[in-house]
Amino acid sequence: MPKQIRKLTNRKLKRKVPKGIVHIQATFNNTIITVTNKTGEVICWSSAGACGFKGARKGTPFAAKTAAEMAARYSLDYGMREARVMVKGPGAGRETAIRGLYEAGLTMTLVRDITATPHNGCRSPKKRRI
């Protein structure tokens, strides 16, 4: 029994990181915030769905801000103060998620858009007819 307790405390001590990377994936239906350390190991995450939003409300800017604040609070518990922010996707919650991180107390050293753009790859789907 004491060996298991020792392993858990060692793992927690390793995860104290002052700097990290925040990945924001903003789709039209949801916004997912993942906080990693510099090597890419996930420290914590949050999403609009995990914050209690359902259906079409998950894709709103307010839901994205709430998810970002929750992820930032979790990361502050692990000792994170500085973060690089990588934003991906065309969703409505891109800028408001960044604002939520700032208001929760994270210092941002870099904000980068890493949205994938095709270089004439696969044919895109046909237009929606409503």
**End-to-end Cα spacing for the chain:** 62
pLDDT of residue 114: 96
**Over the stretch 81-119, which tens digit does the pLDDT of each residue have?**
999 999 999 999 999 999 999 999 999 999 999 999 889
**Over the stretch 6-61, which tens digit does the pLDDT of each residue have?**
555 555 555 688 999 999 999 999 999 999 999 999 999 999 999 999 999 999 99
Separation CA 37–CA 9 (nearest Å): 18
Q: Which helix (H) or strand (E) holds 11?
A: helix 2-14
Closest CA to 66 of 103, 20, 36, 105: 103
pLDDT of residue 130: 86
pTM of the model as a whole = 0.83
Q: Provide the CATH number for the domain formed by 17-113 in this structure.
A: 3.30.420.80
pLDDT of residue 30: 96
Domain range annotation of the chain: 17-113
pLDDT of residue 16: 84
Contact in structure between 20 and 36 (CB atoms under 8 Å): yes
pLDDT of residue 5: 55
